[in-house]
Every structure is written in structure tokens, then in C-alpha cells.
Amino acid sequence: MMGQHKPLLPDVDWQSVITAIHAAKDIVLITHCNPDGDGIGSQMGLYDALTEMGKSVSMFNFDGVPRIYTFLEHAEEVKKGVWPLEDNSADLIIALDCGSKARLGMSDAFFDGPQLVNVDHHASNRLFGDINLVDARYCATGAMIFDLLIAMQAPISKQTATALYAAVLTDTASFRLSNATAGVYRMAAELIDAGAEPWPVSVNIYESRPLAALKMMTACLDTLEICDSGRSAWVHITHDMYKATGADVEDTEGLIDYARSIDGVEVAVFIRCDEHGENRWKVSFRGKTYVDVGALASTLGGGGHAYAAGCLMHGSFDEVRTRIEQTVSQILS
């Protein structure tokens, strides 16, 4: 399949990234804490391609690989936790789908020595790499890896195609968001031609949930509130809800989409307790048509896309909720 694929965005200059990869002997691939399908798919797809090129490649994530993505080839190769510095012989680190160095979850010492390449599609990216390839025109970082491999004239194997298809599938909400352009559909078709199988990927990601996840969905939807004259919808999850349902953080994936799906809602807000401490809340925002939730999240210390964004907030639930309400109401008014 080498040389037969067409890049999604042919005007992107990948040469600095390609030069860094060719010069490196040991490469570490890493993505953000609590990784999603785009971070994991990008990581797996690039790992497969680079190892096929004969590179020595390791993968490391602070939170490992979520269950629903363990079907991807090489998922078992990802090391979890804090990188042991004595093992850090890498001369190149490639951070994927991460807007800031802090979200990688590693100590500053982890980045001492190796060159750091930052590949991401979030407009709010803080350009923390020695080399930054950040382009918000891409629907997913997985789509960027697709173009990178074409620019490198690297073959796209079935395993790579499957991982990149999973990345694009999840970050376009199954091709339902406005970022699913005609070019994205053509890229998806090329990934399928290269061996990706849409049905098994969809079954593993969307139709293999434990019973606890459905219990959590019911509990979460019981918290649903409609505000701002029907233009905002709110759901939340507390520590007590995790205990009552037996669910975990992975079981909350996609719950915010139910709130966004309500007719008339322009902004959906999902507040969930952070598993790493009390009075810490992870907040997700989803927009539908005219509200830029990336800008909304930025005012609260976070970031993201115009249609999907988030932030981390501290305080009691009521304090956090009040601060968000004021911001959302101001934007909607």
C-alpha cells in the first residue's frame, strides 16, 4: 500500500518530525492522562509503523490503556504509571493528542535529555515540544499520524489502519460531528482498504460495556438538569455513585452525549469527581451549533475544540457548579 494513499491535508510540512524520527535510536510514544480513543489509536498506529521500520519503540501512559481499546494490536506493550528514570534511555519522545506537558502526567525529569515532539490537533495546545506539529484543522491526531506515515512513505499495515480508524471513529463521534468532512470519509475508506474492519472496531468500543456501565448511565441521567431556558443540559457523577453502581471512570465514557442530544440544548456539561482526590472535578463540555466550548473551557483554565472541551476544577461540588453556571449563562446570553 506504500505510496498509494492520499494525505488528508497535503499542505502540512512534516519534515522536522520525520528528521527527528530518522535520527532517533530509541523512541518513546506517550499520550495524555485518562487517554481516549484518539490518543490510544494514534499511539498504537504509530508504534506499529515505526517498529515495522526497524525502530526501537516503547509506549508509556500514566493511566495505561482503557479496557475498550485493549483489542488493538500492541495494547499489552504499553507501560503504565510513572516512568522509571533509570530506564529512560530514549533520545526522542513523541507526545500524541495532548494539549500540555502537565497532562502527560510525567515529572519534569522524564523530559530531561530526549528531544520532545508534540503532535496534536487541539487549538489550545501550549506548544510545549522542541518540535510542535499542531494543526486544529485535523479531526483527530490519528488523522495526523495517517498523513505523517504518508509523508514518510511508510506502509500502513492492517494493525496500523485499525488503530488509526479507531482514533478517527471516536474523535468524530462515529463520523457525526462537523469535523467529519468528505476528506475524512475518504481517509476512512483508505484505512478500510488497508485492512481496518469497521464492525469489529465498533463492537469493541461501543457494544462491549459491562453491566456496571449501564447502572452508572441510569444513575448519571437521574441527575439531568435543563437550564438557561433549555439551552444547557447538566449531568454529574459523585464518589457515592461509583460505589453504588460498581462502575469506574471508563464506564462514564459517552454519557455527556445524552445531554447534548436533547432538542434545543446548545451546551452540555458533565461534572465528575476526580478519582485522584477529593474536591477535584473533571468537567467536560460539548457544543452543538454556535457555542465555542473550547473558548468556554479556556476561561476556566482548560481547553479543547469548538465542539468538545474540558477542564479540571477544585472546590466543593456546589462551588464548582456555580462557577461553571455563571460562565455558561454568560456565553449563552
**pTM value > 0.75:** yes
Contact 111, 48 (CB under 8 A): no
- What's the distance, CA 279 to chain centroid? 24
Q: With 0-12 CB in 10 A as exposed, 13-18 as middle and 19+ as buried, what is 257?
A: middle
Fold of 211-332: Diaminopimelate Epimerase; Chain A, domain 1 (3.10.310)
C-alpha cell at 238: 459523585
C-alpha cell at 310: 474540558
User: What is the per-residue burial (b if ≥16 Cβ within 10 Å, else e) of 260-274?
Assistant: beeeebbbbbbbbbb
Contact 118, 98 (CB under 8 A): yes
> Residue 99: which H helix or E strand, with range?
none
pLDDT of residue 44: 98
Which of helix, strand or coil describes residue 197?
A: coil
pLDDT of residue 1: 41
**Successive 10-residue mean pLDDT values, the chain, 333 residues:** 78 98 96 95 98 95 95 96 70 96 90 95 94 97 98 96 98 92 98 98 95 98 98 97 95 95 98 87 95 94 90 96 97 92
pLDDT of residue 106: 92
Residue with cell 456539561: 269
CATH class assigned to 15-206: alpha beta
Q: Where are the domains of the chain?
A: 15-206, 211-332
Two domains, one topology: 15-206 and 211-332: no
pLDDT of residue 88: 61
C-alpha cell at 145: 499520524
